[in-house]
């Protein structure tokens, strides 16, 4: 059960990477709709940290698969919007950092709450 929860968390953390890929594929449309801001990277990293802390508590509910899917869609949308105005190198750097940050805090909080 523990490994399945951690695997589920790893698959949800891939939403940050897929959000970067989604932004890169549709950057012309997103750059028109959203304006770049200086705090977007801080918001992205803070949301990865916060969601990584909250996610182990989501794994304790009976409908964790549905909640994980909703969180995956939220992460995918949030990360693709917050990359607006960035080049490919920056997108890859922050997508990887966000995914790792989410997963590390998920594992740490999950181990301490078992």
Q: Per residue in 46-77, pLDDT tens?
A: 999 999 999 999 988 889 999 999 999 999 99
- pLDDT at residue 77, as a whole number: 92
Q: Which residue would you say has higher pLDDT here, 102 or 1?
A: 102
- pLDDT at residue 57, as a whole number: 93
- pLDDT at residue 87, as a whole number: 87
- pLDDT at residue 93, as a whole number: 93
Predicted structure pTM score: 0.90
Report how far residue 97's alpha carbon sits from residue 112's, in angstroms, rounded to the nearest whole number: 23
- pLDDT at residue 96, as a whole number: 94
């Amino acid at each position: 059960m523990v490994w399945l929860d951690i695997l589920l968390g790893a698959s949800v953390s891939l939403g940050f990477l897929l959000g970067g890929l989604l932004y890169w594929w549709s950057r012309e449309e997103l750059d028109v709709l959203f304006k770049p801001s200086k705090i977007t990277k801080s918001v992205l990293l803070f949301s990865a940290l916060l969601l990584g802390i909250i996610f182990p508590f989501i794994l304790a509910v009976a409908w964790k698969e549905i909640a994980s899917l909703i969180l995956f869609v939220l992460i995918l949308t949030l990360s693709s919007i917050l990359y607006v105005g960035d080049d490919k190198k920056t997108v890859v750097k922050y997508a990887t950092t966000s995914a790792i940050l989410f997963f590390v805090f998920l594992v740490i909080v999950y181990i301490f709450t078992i």
